[in-house]
Amino acid sequence: MKPQLMIITSLCFIMLGCSSHQAQQMGIQGGSVNAYARQMSNSQLCATYLKQQPTNQTRVSLVAEWRHRKLSRAYCSEQEKEWYLTKFAKWLVNEKSVEPK
């Protein structure tokens, strides 16, 4: 029981210490995004718009939502490189993320 707990704990710390870009390279990002473009988070919209993650939504709906939110490749790149631990800490302190302009 103890070795299994140590392995699970280690994997959790490894996941917190990586970014979504690194998780995608390791193949642990997740499957396809099956939500409407309006209901996707900015990170999901970035991943599907930039064809890094599959989706069941049309390209037109992704582009429309991308333009509506005024997202940019620079913003997506910045969000993709942010570590999960940093995102979690920002969520804990209830810090609002800077929206694209």
Measure the CA–CA gap between 29 and 21, rounded to whole angstroms: 8
Token code pair at residue 10: 């280690």
Measure the CA–CA gap between 47 and 50, rounded to whole angstroms: 5
| 35 confidence band (pLDDT: 50, 70, 90) | confident
What average pLDDT does this structure show over 80-88? 69
**What pTM did the predictor assign?**
0.59
Helices (H), 1-101: 2-16, 20-26, 42-49, 59-69, 73-81, 84-92
The answer to whether residue 46 scores a pLDDT higher than 90 is no
The answer to whether residue 34 scores a pLDDT higher than 70 is yes
Question: Letter for the amino acid at 53?
Answer: Q
The answer to whether residue 95 scores a pLDDT higher than 60 is yes
Cα angle vertex 45, ends 39, 46, to 5°?
160
**pLDDT value at residue 13:** 52
Q: What is the torsion angle, in degrees rounded to the nearest 10, for the CA atoms of residue 34, residue 57, residue 83 and residue 89?
A: -60
**pLDDT value at residue 9:** 65
The answer to whether residue 27 scores a pLDDT higher than 60 is no
Higher pLDDT, 69 or 99: 69
